[in-house]
Structure 1
């Protein structure tokens, strides 16, 4: 089983590097790098969600060799993953065995926060700090600020200009995961049930939006269990 992981706003594929050893042998963890950061620093940022989804799909297709795979995305990564899933279905490509949407409600739930990606630098930085997306030290260091401010702006533009389109439920099982201290209502999380015809489970983890940073172990145990179980089923019916 391969597990492709998409990062959240302002981050890169490196956040999942530690998962590789932890998830073996249940899964081969493959962090997905988004344009404009990490190993793809020289590439331009995405112009919109369709651009991001198309790019991620092309990178996924390079790994589609018949081996079962699952998809995990946290926050913005989950938004991109949702759009990628609809492209996979529309193009009749090898389907994922399961989907893990982390740190966000169902895609039709509107954002509570006012748009921020066009704010002046200081106001934008304060907005990022207010939601806990990074530490004050990052913006205090001018060199780091110059690196990460454009990435964060591009990612928040992606999030804040996203327009949900109802294309019916996906035919693959969904696990939606969120911290117990998230601001969303149970109904906003339970709405994920309407996005699959193959069953959905809602899981709450200790912590807030960045629960996977503060204590990743419960999440990794959940992923390992689900992926190992699915791999066993694949072997049984092969």
Structure 2
């Protein structure tokens, strides 16, 4: 992945998020509901999944009072039991692989919208497992060099001592990789050490990246990703397009 600027992608996503904070906050609010329901507690000290969602909310600049309001609302949300996790896998142009994680209370609506997004971008939805083998589920923490003034070796040792699997220096960021089960502990240790994190989440990391040179292919995959990002049922989209 040499030369692949992950932080540039993160900043690109954040710029888009900033233009649609309301939609992003709605999605995170839904994640808070499910985290409380599945974690069994509205207290982040006793619910690691809730802690991780709160960290994601803060990374997306959700104000603390908005987070607290969403948690209070989630405690009494009777609709929480209606949410269902459904993952779709498919192919974009140029042999790209796309994974779509959704959280929905209407499977038919979600399936139709996801299929439409793929079709409009000249791709197609495949069968479960058709592309997920091309990705590894890992905890990923990105620290922007422009936000961290400390010593890289010290950061690496902090991460590894906390249980991280790997540490890499990229062009504009430091990447910390963890096992999904160790992610919460590593993230918390870095947070307590005052390390600024540009991104911290369990994600799907491509084993290889696909470059697209045809302008039509680039337009089509961007169309698919934009449609998916705009869908309220879609929580996460992973792909192996080297942007």
Structure ranking higher on relative contact order (CA contacts 8 Å, 6+ apart): 2
The normalised TM-score by structure 1 is 0.25
Going by fraction, where is strand more abundant, 1 or 2? 2
